[in-house]
Amino acid sequence: MNPLWYGLLGFWMTVMGTLSVAGNFVVIWVFMNTKSLRTPANLLVVNLAISDFFMMVTMTPPLLVNAYWGTWVLGAFFCEIYAFFGSFFGCVSIWSMVFITADRYNVIVKGVSAEPLTSGGAMLRIAGTWAFTLAWCLPPFFGWNRYVPEGCCCPREGNARTSQEDGSQVSEKRGSQKTSAECRLCKVALMTVTLWFVAWTPYFVINWGGMFNKPLSPLFSIWGSVFAKANAVYNPIVYAISHPKYRAALEKKLPCLACATEGRWRF
């Protein structure tokens, strides 16, 4: 493979890794330090940001090392560890998105008749997400399925991610405002799901081809994986632009990162 591609790969992952780690750290910090944002539904959002954060913390440095050398140089065992982290945090993000979307559906469709998500319920879902994902990702170490090379890296054969947000409903007077807010949050959900499909469809096509023993070049396979990992960058950007309460909190805590005033960037 032309050495230029390794340079481009290293540059791309440096930018994506920096944006993802910084962006998701800010999301976690703002949500956990702003009382109005510490709702049960937002615990799921924080869980998603944590998985995105650790995805890029564990994925970016090894990829940069191997882009520099032009091949995987960290040994067979670390190849499996690298793939495990990618699969593990990717699956945590998938299940976080599933629960976030289910909560959004419950609030938006059922309205005031919906059973509200409690802190205990959110924590139970989060614990279940991490436990199930660990059980799913460990078997390749014991001979069931396996982690295989992919370009200059070596993930398993599947991954993912996405995200969402906040909600509740109280008095009649606030009804229309709440409905409007929920609709905006629903649009944020649609945006993040769409971005997820844009990021992961190339990776799906590559893996689908691999299942049928289609010849794939290392360059072709690695770029599908790299673009998929970039999905960890999208969610903080979506929150900053689309979530009014998050945007207001960000403007208070980190004015230099505030996106716009309350009246702008609405859907």
Domains in the chain, ordered, with CATH? 3-257 (1.20.1070.10)
Q: What is the dihedral of CA 67, 71, 76, 77, to 10 degrees?
A: -10
Percent of the chain scored above 90 by pLDDT?
16
Contact predicate 240/45, CB 8 Å? no
Contact predicate 203/225, CB 8 Å? yes
The predicted structure's pLDDT at residue 177: 54
The predicted structure's pLDDT at residue 51: 92
Sequence length of the chain is 267
Q: Rounded CA gap, 208 and 220, in Å?
A: 13
The predicted structure's pLDDT at residue 156: 47
Beta bridge partners of 150: 153
CA distances from 50 to 90, 105, 198, 199, 226 (A): 11, 23, 22, 19, 19
pLDDT exceeds cutoff 70 at 158: no
Contact predicate 126/117, CB 8 Å? no
Q: Which two tokens stand for residue 203?
A: 């990776």
Amino acid at 111: G
Q: Rounded CA gap, 203 and 231, in Å?
A: 12
| Residue that wins the pLDDT comparison between 230 and 192 | 230
Stated pTM of the model: 0.77
pLDDT in tens, 99-141: 887 887 787 777 767 788 889 999 999 999 999 999 999 998 8
| Residue that wins the pLDDT comparison between 1 and 55 | 55
Q: Rounded CA gap, 245 and 47, in Å?
A: 18
Mean pLDDT over the full length of the chain: 77
